Amino acid sequence: MRLIATSRALRASSSRWSMATSGRNMHIPLTHVSDPLTFHRRTWSSTAALRTRQSIDSDRKSGVRSSTNKPSLLIEGQSYSTDQWTNTPDAILSHIGRRLYLDGNHPLAITRKLIESQFPSPVFGNYSEKNPVVSTAQNFDVLGFPADHPGRSRTDTYYVNEKTVLRTHTSAHQQAYFQQINRNEKSRPEEVGYTVVADVYRRDAIDRSHYPVFHQMEGAMLWKRADLEPLKYAKETAARIMDDLNHIPTHDVAVEDPNPTIHEERNPLQAKHHSAEEVEAVAAHLKRSLERMVIKVFTEASKAAAAANGANGANSEQEPLKVRWVEAYFPFTSPSWELEVFWQGDWLEILGCGVIKQDLLINSDVPDRIGWAFGLGLERIAMLLFNIPDIRLFWSRDERFLSQFHAGHISRFEPFSKHPACYKDVAFWLPSAAASGGSAAGGAVPVHENDIMEIVRGVGGDLVEDVRLIDEFTHPKTGKKSMCYRINYRSLERTLMNEETNDLHDQVREKLASLLGVQLR
């Protein structure tokens, strides 16, 4: 569900279950990377803070302009008309149809299969959603996103047109899967849960752990309750859930879980809909299910690391695996948690989860169900499993990368080259409206950082490793604001010539000035 998964998973507001972010960064030690790779929080949902109504209104007025001159976009064989909301560039559209998660020998597909193995049939159906085009109703409205939520902004989301987007999370399909579970009563009653994987799209930062196209997996399991007055029969519902729990094998990994399942302020019970007894049972089932999945993933990662260390003559002794539960907030679950793993000296957040908000089930026409859901980012897990240092590598067609991976096998990535970085700075004065403040999400502000990233990405593509703000300055007399970004041009496959990077950088500068109205320095 807005993939909690994503809650702190690859982007600085990107896995998306919850659209609210906390400022914590995750540092993942990678043995062959000199500087640690940082995973910023990517939420189950979308962005950080709510926009103002003024910002939303400005998006709907003259401030919004199309970033394409095409009358229509052709996506997966279907034509979509464009309008003033359209902001999806060809560079993003070119990724649609790759379906890396279905390529059996690709690390994302291997990771997907490993996770799915812990949610087998007939209880779970394992699905994928190939077409990324969804309505704004599916992506936002059905899930209860407020009208002024920043995830709706064109600075965060790729709009095909005003009513259509490239999905920002797998939860755009959540309602359909809840309804499918309900229909399963007649066709396959054993299937009461699901996992679904898909490519999702978000305008985002540029660095080694963020990419505008990434992959999410979410899952859920539901139990039937009494049609009328379900709270009267809560004890019986809880007993059925506990019986299912007893069929899940236990494990011997140390788990830290110091907090109560329900806390009135931090992790409240949906008292209007659920009993404490039901929630305790759902939470216990959820936690054991996800603990076993994470233990399986990191056991395989440990084996691969030990094999790589042994081959290199290094000491392969590793710390025992530890996991812990941390209270969390997501708009689609309550109570909610994040599951963290102690891995190579750091606690890493792996997924988000919780007891599904009953309003979501009611809105999905399955009011007589109760259940749990979780979400995670596949790239995050795969980067840990295979020791892959740069998210751009997942999209590489280089055989030196692809030939290292084989279906059903976890192996550590061996770098095939290390090409030099080429750093170039660009400094500019912001237009006065931007310097004076306004909404952080777009609309009223003519320059948003994601717009800068999109221009750099559009010019440099995968030749840009990262873009960082290195300086900002407000003139004491004029009040004008200056910003300086450092762009690191580095190919994963070849050495870039200075002449080539100069040409790319000149194009970036020209487009920043012409498209955003900044004054170059």
Encode pLDDT of 205-251 as tens digits: 999 999 999 999 999 999 999 999 999 999 999 999 999 999 999 99
- Three-state secondary structure string covering 475-518: CCCCCCEEEEEEEEECCCCCCCCHHHHHHHHHHHHHHHHHHHCC
Cα–Cα distances in angstroms (integers) from residue 432 to residues 122, 328, 474, 509, in the given order? 60, 39, 11, 19
Summarize pLDDT for 389-403 with one digit per residue, the tens.
Answer: 999 999 999 999 999
d(CA 116, CA 130): 17
Cα–Cα distances in angstroms (integers) from residue 343 to residues 30, 292, 304, 325, 516, in the given order? 11, 16, 13, 15, 43
Summarize pLDDT for 407-452 with one digit per residue, the tens.
Answer: 999 999 999 888 899 999 999 999 875 443 433 333 345 688 999 9
Angle at 44 between CA 366 and CA 115, to 5 degrees: 80
Phi, then psi, of 211 in degrees rounded to 5: -150, 145
Angle at 376 between CA 17 and CA 100, to 5 degrees: 115
pTM of the model: 0.85
CB-CB neighbours of 441 under 10 Å: 28
Model pLDDT, residue 371: 98
d(CA 2, CA 20): 11
Residues in the chain: 521
Using left for φ > 0, alpha for ψ between -120 and 50, and beta otherwise, residue 97 falls in left
d(CA 72, CA 209): 32
- DSSP assignment of 450-480 equals HHHHHHHHHHHGGGEEEEEEEEEEE-TTT--
Q: How many CA within 13 A on the CB side of residue 301?
A: 27
The tokens of 368 are what?
A: 């007589």
- DSSP assignment of 90-108 equals HHHHTTTT--GGG-TTSHH
The tokens of 24 are what?
A: 């914590």
Q: pLDDT under 70 in the chain at which residues?
A: 1-68, 310-318, 433-446
CB-CB neighbours of 4 under 10 Å: 35
Model pLDDT, residue 181: 94
**Which residue ranges form the domains of the chain, and what is each CATH number?**
72-309+319-403 (3.30.930.10), 422-520 (3.30.70.380)
Phi, then psi, of 344 in degrees rounded to 5: 50, 45
Model pLDDT, residue 433: 59
Strand pairing report for 346-356 and 26-28: unpaired
The tokens of 205 are what?
A: 């930062």
Q: Hey, what amino acid is at 70?
A: K
Distant-in-sequence, close-in-space partners of 185: CB < 8 Å, separation ≥ 6: none
3 state SS of 319:
coil
The tokens of 347 are what?
A: 């606690």
Model pLDDT, residue 487: 96
d(CA 53, CA 293): 42
Model pLDDT, residue 19: 38
Distant-in-sequence, close-in-space partners of 231: CB < 8 Å, separation ≥ 6: 273, 274, 275
* Residue 195 CA from chain centroid, whole number: 15
Summarize pLDDT for 153-194 with one digit per residue, the tens.
Answer: 999 999 999 999 999 999 999 999 999 999 999 999 999 999
Model pLDDT, residue 201: 97
Angle at 437 between CA 436 and CA 443, to 5 degrees: 120
